[in-house]
Amino acid sequence: MSDLFSHQGEINRRALAPLADRLRPRSLEEFVGQEEILGPGRLLRRAIHADRVGNLILHGPPGVGKTTLARIIASSTRAHFTSLNAVLAGVKDLRMEVEAARQRLERHGLRTLLFIDEVHRFNVAQQDALLPWVENGTVTLIGATTENPYFEVNKALVSRSRLFRLQSLEPRDLRVLLERALTDRERGYGGRSVELSPEAADHLLDVAGGDARSLLNALELAVESSAADDTGVVRIDLEIAEQSIQQRAVHYDKQGDAHFDTISAFIKSLRGSDPDAALFWLARMVEAGENPRFIFRRMLISAGEDIGLADPQAIVVVEACAAAFERVGLPEGLYPLAQAALYLAGAEKSNSLLGFFDALKSVRATNRQEVPSHLRDANRDGTAFGDGVGYRYPHAYAEHWVAQTYLPAALQGEVFWLPGQLGWEGGLQSRLQRRRAAQLAAAAESSANSGPLLSSGPGDAELERWLQRQAAAEGERLDQLRQRFWQGADWKRQDRTLILGARSLLWALDPLESCPEGGVVISVDTAADQQRLQAHSQLLDSLRSPRLLLLEPTRPESLSEVMEPGERFEWLVGRSPFQEQEAAVWHPWLEELDRLASPRAQWRLLLSRPLLGPAGALAELLTRPGGSGAALADATLPELLQRVSLEEEAWLSPAPGSAELTAALEALHWLVELESWQESLTLELSESTCQRWFGPGAAYRSRLEAVINGAEIARIEAGFRSQIRVLLPQRLRHQRLIARRSKSQPTEPPAKAGP
């Protein structure tokens, strides 16, 4: 019977719950926002689907989904989920939960996820009491906090947890929630006739400031407090919306009388640089018994508002005169009073300090005001979230200044202070204009405003050792090639990487190390490659291991079929992809990959081609001064080799080459950069090498048969076999192709045409 009443009570609670609580997303598919850490292919999303969520601390402003995300994890895990609110719970409650978790683990082998809301509200003793059980795995901690965990949470807990920073929701995310609230028949207002004007919707989205709870609370207040009209429709216009959600405004006392009229005339006379009128109104106030301290206060305001930086000494003079008045009193204090008034009346004027109020308007009107990562205080977090990384110390540069950005990303290019042309600030104009131009240029090229780090976590020593072993296995030469290939890459921890047609893990090492919250997907051409790479990566944790996809070369759509809906990639990588494929095959692949590229994606392709074929290499060796040509029985062999080497040049040209790929990418609105360099190597000629080139069915022999006769092939083979253990010269030309989206490219690629 008690269960029946409890069930009915839960139904009643849900019916009476606020709109924001009723509309909480119940799955990752319903969750809105936080694409950088929860988007398709990201580590946290994969961990939730795989039920492999470890210790987490979620922090961010109110109303961005911290508690909701914890509930989604609860609904998807096979572990027991329990929660505490740090505001209400004490050490006794914590110990009860830990003891229950210990018994579940010992008796049933069942893990426990302990969610602690507002975890920063636990005091030091409570956090210390939790630490041993988190450390030995009795409970897995999921904490939520609006405060910086590096400052408010036990450092030992932080070091054992993976941290995720949730951002304020974007207007487009809030609009999705608003439309869901109006159309959802079960949890929202879909069952009622509610009409929200576009102006009202825009106001709610703007003033909510990225807080979903604030938005939905305002909508609920507007709907529930508005009566339906004669047709049964609840109409929400701009006026109702403004009443439902308001920004704080600063109110001033503007009641006027003769007292304020006279001081107004005095200040306006100072502003107008009329010393005679200023003395008249000053004398009238003194005669009427006005308190000189009040007059000095108003003159201090005038020194900032009307004179400002045209004469920075003005405020100093007024302050000094006020101090002198306090020392001597009346009537002698009238001298410094008059002196201050005359100095202000005669000073150069500027109201450029009003730029502060323009900045104040922007503060009230701009939703996104996050401090750029490179300006944040790194003392508390260290480099865990990248705070302070990239900041350049101005005193280390000439003129004690360096071109870097200091405004939030949403306000780049804003100008609040326009110096006047007179006095002290007049001499700053040209220098300030030059520096502002340099800052704008720096903002365009700098990665400082590319976004803050959103996650952090403990180091993975096993991964580091695995990466070092893999790099060493590839050899020093290939490792240097890898480093040059990735040189200048601007990694984000949440980046997702797609590596095309890989035969080794060489190109995956950097993204695996630099993008722990993202993911690496590798396409392979053969089942043998897939099995070999699986064996190489078997020591990695399954969440960190790259996904290996065996794709059909003639079906580009096979890639999208195995991707999670909405999954996109920030890096598209490969060495000589589409090699030896016809344009009819690789062009559709390029278009398919273009659709899978995120808005800030980058292509990185390495196109390598040998400049010498076997015949060309042997010809160069034999004709080189001091070479072994004299030892040849066939004196005319170098001439034959030179003729064959001309044919090899055509064979060695890659298909598609850099020109074809560049043209195709530019047609898809990518901006392409090419860097070329040569590499000189040597190859020790061996019996196995000769067999690989000249054995029955060898590809090289087949090409020779198309241009020369059998006797000539036999002469060339004999020439090679006479040089066994000789070092053949090898030269490679590498081209690194980097492509970024052009500004004219749509941020969302066009949808693929249907059948």
447-500 pLDDT per residue, tens? 434 556 666 666 667 777 777 777 777 778 888 889 999 999 988 888 999 999
For residues 590 and 727, membership in a common domain is answered with yes
For residue 236, give the CATH number of its domain. Answer: 1.10.8.60
Could you tell me if residue 575 is inside a domain?
no
Strands 56-59, 80-85: pairing is unpaired
C-alpha to C-alpha distance for 357 and 347, rounded to whole angstroms: 23
User: What is the token pair recorded at 348?
Assistant: 């150069």
Which residues, in sequence order, are CB contacts of 616 under 8 Å at separation 6+? 641, 644, 645, 648, 649
C-beta neighbour count of 61 within 10 angstroms: 15
Decide which of 445, 480, 515 is a domain's last residue: 445
Same domain, 312 and 362: no
Write down which residue in 199, 222, 244 finishes a domain.
Answer: 244
Task: List, in order, residues 6 or more apart from 607 with CB less than 8 Å away.
Answer: 575, 576, 654, 657, 658, 661, 734, 735, 736, 737
Q: What is the largest CA-CA distance in the chain?
A: 125
Distance between CA atoms of residues 548 and 364, nearest Å: 49
Structure tokens at 221: 């207040």
Is 593 in the same domain as 708? yes
- For the chain, the C-alpha Rg in angstroms (whole number) is 36
Per-residue pLDDT of 283-340, as tens digits, reads 888 887 888 988 999 999 989 888 888 888 889 999 999 999 988 888 888 999 998 8
Clarify whether residues 63 and 160 are in a common domain: yes
Residues in the chain: 755
- Give me the CATH number covering residue 63: 3.40.50.300
| 125-142 confidence digits (pLDDT tens) | 888 888 888 888 888 888
Q: Is residue 44 part of a domain?
A: yes
Are residue 713 and residue 609 in the same domain, yes or no?
yes
* Contact in structure between 691 and 606 (CB atoms under 8 Å): no
pLDDT for position 55: 85
- Between the CA of residue 21 and those of 13, 18, 76, 176, 505, what are the distances in Å? 11, 5, 19, 16, 46
Contacts of 683 (CB under 8 A, 6+ apart): 617, 689, 727, 728, 730
Percentage above 90 pLDDT, the chain: 12
289 Rama class: left (phi>0) / alpha (psi -120 to 50) / beta: left
Q: What is the pLDDT of residues 670-683, one digit of tens each?
A: 999 999 999 888 88
In the three-class reduction of DSSP (H, G, I as helix; E, B as strand; rest coil), residue 548 is classed as: strand
Looking at the domain assignment, is residue 459 inside a domain? no
Specify whether the CB–CB gap between 512 and 460 falls below 8 A: no
Percent of the chain with pLDDT over 70: 83
Instruction: Specify whether 140 is located in the same domain as 223.
Output: no
**Which amino acid is located at 113 in the chain?**
L
Q: Report residue 636 as tokens.
A: 């005319």
| Intra-chain end-to-end CA distance of the chain, in Å | 58
Q: What is the pLDDT of residue 602?
A: 94
- The number of folded domains in the chain is 5
On average, the pLDDT of the chain sits at 80
CA 552 – CA 557 distance, rounded (Å): 9
Q: Does residue 573 surpass a pLDDT of 90?
A: yes
Coil, helix or strand at residue 154: coil
When pLDDT is cut at 50, 70 and 90, the band that residue 384 belongs to is low
The span from the CA of 671 to the CA of 662, in Å, is: 9
SS3 359: helix
User: What does the H/E/C string look like for 382-437?
Assistant: CCCCCCCCCCCCHHHCHHHCCCCCCCCHHHCCCCCCCCCCCHHHHCCHHHHHHHHH
Mean pLDDT along residues 388-408: 70
Assess if residue 13 is contained within a domain: no
Based on the domain organization, do 190 and 127 belong to the same domain?
no
The residue whose two tokens read 């202000």 is 344
Residue 470 contacts residue 536 (beta carbons within 8 Å)? yes
Residue 388 has pLDDT above 80, yes or no: no
In this structure, is residue 456 part of a structural domain? no
Both 277 and 239 in a single domain?
A: no
Beta strands in 588-699 (DSSP E): 597-610, 670-684
Residue 385: inside a domain:
yes
Q: Are residues 134 and 50 in the same domain?
A: yes
- 345 with 358, same domain: the answer is no
User: In this predicted model, what pLDDT tens digit does every residue of 699-724 receive, in sequence order?
Assistant: 888 888 888 898 888 888 888 888 88
Say if residues 701 and 713 touch (Cβ distance below 8 Å): yes
Same domain, 394 and 339: no
* Per-residue tokens: 8: 């009915």
Among residues 149, 165, 181, which one ends one of the domains?
165
Kindly provide the residue ranges of all beta strands, DSSP E only, lying in 7-66, ordered along the sequence.
56-59
**What is the β-pairing status of strands 162-165 and 56-59?**
parallel
Please report the DSSP string for 65-103 in residue order. Answer: SHHHHHHHHHHH-SSEEEEEETTT--HHHHHHHHHHHHH
Please tell me whether residues 92 and 181 are part of one structural domain: no
Tokens matching residue 91: 């050490």
Look up the pTM and report it. 0.67
> Is residue 534 one of the residues assigned to a domain?
no
Cβ atoms within 10 Å, residue 257: 7
Q: Which residue has the tokens 């016809």?
A: 582
Residue 659's domain spans which residues?
580-755
Sign of CA dihedral 479, 484, 490, 494: negative
In a domain, residue 29? The reply is no
205: number of Cβ within 10 Å: 22
Which long-range contacts does 460-468 make (Cβ < 8 Å, 24+ apart)?
Answer: 460/516, 460/544, 462/539, 462/541, 463/512, 463/513, 463/540, 463/541, 463/544, 464/513, 466/539, 466/540, 467/509, 467/512, 467/513
pLDDT of residue 620: 84
DSSP-derived secondary structure for 739-750: EEE-TTS-SSPP
Q: Which residues contact 217 (CB under 8 A, 6 or more apart)?
A: 18, 19, 20, 245
Model pLDDT for residues 60-117, shown as the tens digit of each residue: 888 888 888 888 888 887 888 888 887 788 788 888 888 888 888 888 888 888 888 8
Estimate the crossing angle of helix 275-287 against helix 292-302, to 10 degrees: 150
